[in-house]
Amino acid sequence: MKLKNFYAAHESFILGGGFIVALLTIWESIPLWYTLSKGMALFFTTPSRVTVTFSELLINGEIEKHFYVSAIAFLAGLGLSIVVGLPLGLIMGRSATLENLLDPYVTACNATPRIVFLPLLILWFGIGIWSKIVIVFAGAVFPLLINTYTGVKNVNRVLVNVVRSFGANEWQVMKIVVLPNSVPYIIAGLRLAIGRAILGVVVGEFFGSSQGLGYMIASAASNYKVDVVFVGVAIFMALSVILTLAVKQLESRLASWRPETAKTF
């Protein structure tokens, strides 16, 4: 009876965790009940082999080396996009003329997968860290920019007028009303930006690169080291899940009043 209550209280957790465990178990046991042909076995790996490879790579410092390079590109690109995106978003939200002038470019760039610029960026910035930083920046800046100016535009007119009536200048309006109102939007933008930034790091390092986790995946795939591919993919998965969930927590704390329509990453 107690067990039943326990299950009822934690049903979502048990079912969710159980599904993942079951999936991993089935994956692990495939070689036991099905013999793969030689060709397919080349592309096949099991979770246990991936774990073993992971610890090996961790011990010999391989992961640390690549991780460091990727992390720098990620942080620099994301930082740059925050530095550029937030102020520009605030200004665009406050000035209708500037918004009309810039909005077509922003919309077009946001709809286009930024990845298409990668060959151009490699040509301009070389195969070093700079082309990665720029592609991360290009991916992350638009969600931030768009969300910031949506937040600024959705500010309550009455509040702005009240503050103005009491003699506030533009800067004070910004500080007292506009910024606090846009914080939830900015955080939502940040969550999207993190996803785009990680995408930029991965793809940026696939091509014309000699270091970084993306490079590790691409070179392992062309050498048929499937274990290493999955190690890289698992690291990226863990990082994105942790980062996006952390921002999501922040978001739901700051913006519990804002209805969420559907998950977006």
Partner 1 sequence: MRAKKYFSEHRRLWLALCSFFFLFTAWELMLTYIFPVNPFFFTKPSLIAAAFKEQFQGTKLWHDLAVSSQAFLWGFSFAVIVGIPVGLVMGWRKRVEYSLDPFLTALYASPLVALAPLFIIVFGVGVLGKAALVFLLAVFPFIFNAFAGVKSTDSLLINVIRSYGGSEKDLYLKVILPSTMPYIIAGARLAIGRGLVGVIVGEFYAASEGIGFAITQAGDTYRLPDMFVGIIILSLIAVGLTELMRKLELMVAPWRTTDEVR
With residue 60 as reference, give the H or E element that holds it. Answer: none
The set of residues, in sequence order, having a beta carbon less than 8 Å from that of 118 and lying 6+ positions away, is 131, 135, 203, 204, 207
CB of 236 to partner 1, least distance (A): 5
Cβ atoms within 10 Å of 227's Cβ, excluding its own? 18
Gap between the Cα atoms of 142 and 85, Å rounded? 7
Smaller CB separation from partner 1, 175 or 241: 241
The single residue listed with the structure tokens 């036991």 is: 32
Select 174 or 189, whichever has its Cβ closest to partner 1: 189
Distance CA 195, CA 246 (A): 13
Residue with Cβ nearer partner 1 (77 or 143): 143
**Least distance from C-beta 126 to partner 1, angstroms?**
11
Min. distance of Cβ 158 from partner 1 in angstroms? Answer: 18
Minimum separation from the CB atom of position 219 to partner 1 (A): 9
Half-sphere exposure of 185 (CA within 13 A, CB side): 23
Structure tokens at 254: 């700051």
Shortest Å distance, C-beta 143 to partner 1: 7
Angle at 138 between CA 136 and CA 143, to 5 degrees: 100
**Rounded to an integer, what distance in angstroms lies between the CA atom of residue 124 and that of residue 132?**
12
Is the distance from CB of 129 to CB of 73 less than 8 angstroms? yes
Distance from C-alpha of 250 to C-alpha of 170, rounded to nearest angstrom: 28
To the nearest whole angstrom, how small is the minimum distance from the Cβ of residue 61 to partner 1? 21
Nearer residue to partner 1 within complex by CB, 171 or 226: 226
Nearer to partner 1, 6 or 175 (CB): 6
Query: Considering beta carbons, is residue 87 or 113 the nearer one to partner 1?
Result: 113
Rounded to the nearest whole angstrom, what is the least distance from the CB of residue 163 to partner 1 in the complex?
A: 23
Q: State which residue, 47 or 164, has the beta carbon closest to partner 1.
A: 47
Residue among 102, 70, 73, 97 nearest 85 (CA): 102
